[in-house]
Amino acid sequence: MEIPVLQSVTVEILVDNFFDVFEPSRPGIVERVVPGRLKKPLVAAHGLAYLITLNHQGKLSRILMDAANAPLPLFNNLEALEHDINEIDAVALSHGHPDHYGGLFEFLAKRTGGPIPVYLHKDVFLPKVLITPRGRIGPWVLDLDQLVAANVELYENQGPQLVLGQALLTGTVEATTDYEKPLPGFRRKVAGQEEQDLFPDEQALVAVVEGRGLVVIGGCSHPGIVNMVKYAQKLTGVQKVSLILGGFHLTPHGDETTQQTIAGLKELDPELIIAGHCTGFRALTKLAAAFPDNFMVSCVGTKVMVVGGRGAVLSHVPTIAPTSVVIGLFQGGALLADAWPLDDGSYGFEGLAAGTYAIRPINLTEGVGTSRAVTVSGPEDISGLDIEVLPGASIVGMVRDNGSGQTLAGIAVLAVGPDGHRTRRGRLPAAGLRHERARPARPRPGGAEPADAARASHRQAKHHSGGIIHH
């Protein structure tokens, strides 16, 4: 098995426990929403759902990883963020807890079109129980028969499993640390007998981005977030870590385990850590203190962009009046753009096809203005108007006053189609670029067919497992 190298990975946090309007963005890396510019308010909830966009040589595919704790927050936030559920190509479940699959069946029911692939570990169907100081909760059961009947192509795994041929589900995580152990209050039932749940069903979704390394996305990380990242490194052969994202489930384990986990994360040396959901407030504060430069809290509506190849960052434009000028992205003489500036002045154009693009200011009253010099900086410093990018690269920017250096938050960034008509103002990616998106062929991992919808029991499930992933 091989895991392909991607040009970019974008993760949008659809549902999480947190929403904080004051959490900062990082231009070109992390984009926070501006509530007043959304179609409707976002809803935070004790659950998790990610919309993951994979870019492989300019072809985009979208994965819904986990489906929140209930339909309400999932569908509210999909609508607020203006996502069409029929554009989602696959579903992946991190593990078998209801705060991760609570909206799944309604999501499947509301879709139109053909069957959608659903990827999960075979043990997610076992009954789950939680024993707490406040009482016993459960059992929770994800119903196999209901899922099979819901117009899906079901892929069950135990070992590593490719998703749409582009990303990797780790399968059961190999334990290598001595401090990451699931809490004894988590239980499951096997053949009618209750036992401690060691979470063999919990798995991370892993992608490799060109020049950036690993993107590791977890659910609750019950097997341990350090274990999960190390296992991803082992499977892929890639040691460099760009992004670690998920719930870390640390606070209930106490301060010692939290500090040991922090030490393990420091050894992994990721570019960015984003934690939320079940991590716990106390652990979040310790993570923030330990990683002052590369830690952020996971908040609903956040978009995280890991771009390989030749991304570029527009850092300066001439002094301009924010009420009269927009920033335009040009290709072949046509204007292409669809981004809304954040309050810090940042904006972006994401998931671009290969080609040469130009950036120039546009006077709203006079039409396209004369080209003016801009400065572009990125992985490869480029100056001038013409920017050549590889497939799937992103161009992100910060509009500044060249004299004062202050950001100009009032600059409008909008889409103008090839016919010269303005399209709706919106968020990334550009509406004018969506024609580049194509649904990928759905490969049968390891040559296997989807699970037979007619089988009577999950005990007959096919276990699609692979060997070591080579990079």
Cα separation, 471 vs 457, whole angstroms: 36
**Per-residue pLDDT at 151:** 86
Cα separation, 410 vs 428, whole angstroms: 18
Nearest-5° Cα angle at 261, 256 to 265: 150
Q: How confident is the model at residue 348 (pLDDT cuts 50, 70, 90)?
A: low
Structure tokens at 134: 């406040």
The answer to whether 97 and 186 are in contact (CB under 8 A) is: no
Residue ranges of domains in the chain, CATH in brackets: 5-125+143-183+199-307 (3.60.15.10), 312-436 (no CATH)
Q: How far is CA 377 from CA 300, 316, 382, 396, in A?
A: 29, 9, 6, 10
Quote the pTM value.
Answer: 0.71
Structure tokens at 326: 């927009």
Cα separation, 92 vs 103, whole angstroms: 13
**Per-residue pLDDT at 216:** 98
Q: Cβ neighbours of residue 128 under 8 Å, at least 6 residues apart? A: 96, 97, 138, 139, 140, 141, 186, 187, 188, 197
**Per-residue pLDDT at 129:** 92
Which residue, among 189, 309, 196, 291, has the nearest Cα to 244 in the 3D structure? 291
Structure tokens at 270: 């990721």
Which residue reads 């430069």 in tokens?
A: 293
Cα separation, 435 vs 442, whole angstroms: 19
- Encode pLDDT of 35-52 as tens digits: 777 889 999 999 999 999
- SS3 sequence, 235-269? HHCCCCEEEEEEECCCHHHCHHHHHHHHHHHHHHC
- Encode pLDDT of 305-320 as tens digits: 887 754 433 333 322 3
- Encode pLDDT of 55-72 as tens digits: 887 788 999 999 999 999
